[in-house]
Amino acid sequence: MADARSSAHGVGREPVQADWPAIDDAAIEQLISHYPAVGSLREVNWHSPRPFSAACLITTSEQPLFIKRHHRSVREPEWLREEHRFMAHLRGNGAPVAQVLSSAEGDTAIALGEWTYEVHQIAAGQDLYREALSWTPFQAYQHAWAAGQSLARLHDAASGFTAPPRQAPVLLANFRLFSQPDPIAAIEAACVNDPALAAYLSQRDWRADLQSLHLPFHQQLYPLLATQQPLWTHNDWHASNLLWDTTQPDSQVSSVLDFGLADQTFALFDLATAVERNSIPWLDLDIGGSAAASQESVDAILQGYHSVRPLSAQDLLTLAALLPLVHTDFALSEVAYYQGIVGSEANATVAYEAYLIGHTRWFNGAEGQRLLAHLHDLAARAKEGEQP
Whether residue 111 is found in the same domain as residue 150? no
pLDDT tens per residue across span 23-38: 999 999 999 999 999 9
Region 191-200: what's the mean pLDDT?
Answer: 98
2 located within any domain: no
Give, rounded to a whole angstrom, the gap between the first and last alpha carbons of the chain: 47
3-state class (DSSP) for residue 204: coil
Residues in contact with 31: Cβ distance below 8 Å, sequence separation at least 6, in sequence order: 67, 110, 112, 117, 119
Asked if pLDDT for residue 147 goes beyond 90, the answer is yes
* Cα–Cα dist 64/58, whole Å: 6
Residue 126 lies in a domain: no
Q: Is the dihedral of CA 246, 124, 255, 168 positive or negative?
A: negative
Return the closest-CA partner of residue 1 out of 337, 236, 332.
Answer: 337
In this predicted structure, the answer to whether residue 346 has a pLDDT above a threshold of 50 is yes
Instruction: State whether 115 and 217 are in the same domain.
Output: no
Q: What pLDDT is stored for residue 197 in this prediction?
A: 98
Domain boundary among 91, 121, 151: 121
pLDDT at position 135 is: 77
**Domain-located, residue 134:** no
Domain contains 24: yes
Q: What mean pLDDT value characterizes the chain?
A: 94
Q: Is the pLDDT of residue 4 over 50?
A: no
257 class by beta-carbon count within 10 Å (0-12 exposed, 13-18 middle, 19+ buried): buried
Triad 54, 144, 133: Cα angle to 5°: 30
Looking at the predicted structure, is the pLDDT value of residue 130 above 90?
no
Q: What is the pLDDT of residues 160-194, one digit of tens each?
A: 999 999 999 999 999 999 999 999 999 999 999 99
Within-domain flag for 53: yes
Q: What is the pLDDT of residue 73?
A: 97
Lowest mean pLDDT segment, chosen from 128-137, 151-160, 187-196, 341-350: 128-137
Q: Could you tell me if residue 20 is inside a domain?
A: yes
User: What's the pLDDT band for 136 if we cut at 50, 70, 90?
Assistant: confident
At residue 1, the pLDDT reads 33
CA distance 88 to 102: 12
CATH number, domain with residue 63: 3.30.200.20
231 strand-pairing partners? 265
Helix and strand totals (H; E) in the chain? 13, 11
C-alpha–C-alpha distance, residues 319 and 196, integer Å: 31
Residue 15's pLDDT is what? 54
Indicate if the pLDDT at residue 132 is higher than 90: no
257 lies in a domain? yes
Q: Residue 311: which CATH number? A: 3.90.1200.10
Read off the pLDDT band of 387 (50, 70, 90). confident
pLDDT of residue 201: 99
Minimum mean pLDDT range among 17-31, 165-179, 261-275, 325-339: 17-31
pLDDT tens digits, 42-60: 999 999 988 899 999 999 9
Identify any residues that bridge with 86 across adjacent strands, giving them in sequence order: none
89 and 200 in a single domain? The answer is no
The span from the CA of 190 to the CA of 187, in Å, is 5
| In a shared domain, residues 102 and 41 | yes
pLDDT at 127: 92
pLDDT tens, position by position, 232-251: 999 999 999 999 998 887 88
pTM of the model: 0.94
Is residue 269 located within the same domain as residue 357? yes
Same domain, 76 and 149: no
Number of domains in the chain: 2
